Amino acid sequence: MIRFRACLVASITVAATAAGAAPLSAQAPAAPAPAEYGRAMKLDTQVFESANKQIRLEYPKRDWEIVPRAGATMIPGVTSPIVSLVHRRREAAVVIEQTKLHQPLALDDITDLFGQLEVDSVRERQPQASDVKAKLVEAGGRRFVIVTYARQGVSGPERVRQYSIPAGADLFRLTCVAAASHFARYEPIFAHVAASFTVTAGGTQ
């Protein structure tokens, strides 16, 4: 039932957009919930900085390790992983990807449509995903989309929270995955990583 509702909302949104129905001015994005986005005050963290100094984030010192990936891509439309943060017991993980946009997006350009497009992207890449929801939020001087959904992982059901953060001509996706049964436990860590994520515009490519 929940899945059907999500599909219905997505269909209505896409249909309304494609049909050119009377467009309404974009509503102001809401502030994210503290559990979704925000620094954890009692969390002992360490900093990760990409090799090209473009991105920087904080992650827990304990039980988390870095799995470096290939460097950033310069080809528009192509998505490449930058880094993966994996919990030592493999109960949770954060995968950071970078996508070169065809057109740079300013803050005002990002609307609910962007969330819908991210939902479409999730559905395209993970057809088994369910309960896909998107929310446009604005915090810390940036506007981004939080997409949540469920999927069936190797060891059981998983919950996923994806932060889609456009930054100029780049789109960074922070995909936070945890077992459905442990998602609440790791949720503050996901919120801290996303809140500490910064992009340096003049990063060395």
Partner 1 sequence: MIRDADGSERTVELRDGVMRIGRAAGNEIVIGDASKGVSRTHAELHIDGSRCTIVDLHSQNGTWVNALRVQRAEVRPDAEIAIGVFRLRLQGAPAVAATGRPAPRAQPATIIAPKPASVAGPPPPLPSPPPSPPPSMPAPQLSPRGTISDLPLMAAGQGVTSPVPMPAIPQPSAPQAAAVQKPKRSSLPFIYGGIGAVAMIALAVALFSIPQKPLGRPAAPGATPPAPAAAAPAAQAQPQPAAPASTTPPPALPVAPPAPTTDGAARSATRPASRPSTPPPPATPAARSSVPPAPAPPAATRSSQPPSASRGRASAATPSAAVRTTAENLPVPRKPGESLQDWQTRSSALQARYAFAKVALDRGDYSAAAGGFAAILLEEPGFLDTPQLLVKAREGLRSAAAEAIESGNKLDASGDWVNALKKYDQAREIDRAVPGLEEAIKRVRDKMRVAGTDALRRARQFDALGRFADALTEYEKAAQWLSPEDPNQQIARGRADQLKARQR
Please give the structure tokens belonging to residue 148: 């949540």
**Half-sphere exposure in the Cβ direction for 43 (13 Å, CA):** 25
191 touches partner 1 by CB under 8 A: no
Which listed range, 14-22, 36-44, 88-96, 174-182, lies at the site for partner 1 (CB under 8 A)? 14-22
Contact between 21 and partner 1 per CB under 8 A: yes
What is the dihedral angle through the alpha carbons of 160, 166, 171, 174, rounded to the nearest 10 degrees?
Answer: -30
The single residue among 171, 189, 191, 199 that binds partner 1, judged by CB under 8 A, is 171
Residue count, binding to partner 1 (CB under 8 A): 26
Task: Calculate the alpha carbon distances from 162 to 53, 95, 118, 122, 203 in Å.
Answer: 22, 9, 9, 9, 23
Give the phi and the psi of residue 85 in degrees, each rounded to 5.
-110, 120
In angstroms, the first-to-last Cα distance of the chain is 46
Q: Does 157 bind partner 1 (CB under 8 A)?
A: no
Which structure tokens are listed for 163? Answer: 């932060």
Which of 80, 84, 111, 126 binds partner 1 (CB under 8 A)? It is 111
Q: Could you say which of 7, 43, 93, 113 contacts partner 1 (CB under 8 A)? A: 113
Determine if 63 is a binding residue for partner 1 (CB under 8 A).
no
Binding mask 91-110 for partner 1 (x = CB under 8 A): ----------xxxxx--xxx
The partner residues of 85 in beta bridges, in order of sequence, read 66, 94
Query: Does residue 166 interact with partner 1 by CB under 8 A?
Result: yes
Tokens of 51: 């090799």
User: Does residue 79 bind partner 1 (CB under 8 A)?
Assistant: no
Rounded to whole angstroms, the Cα distance separating 23 from 16 reads 9
Nearer to partner 1 among residue 70 and residue 106 (C-beta):
106
State which residue, 111 or 200, has the beta carbon closest to partner 1: 111
Q: Smallest distance, Å, CB 113 to partner 1? A: 5
Measured at the CA of 65, the angle between CA 64 and CA 71, to 5 degrees, comes to 135
Q: Does 22 bind partner 1 (CB under 8 A)?
A: yes
- Site membership for partner 1, residue 126 (CB under 8 A): no
Binding-site ranges for partner 1 (CB under 8 A): 17-18, 20-26, 76-77, 101-105, 108-111, 113-114, 117, 121, 166, 171
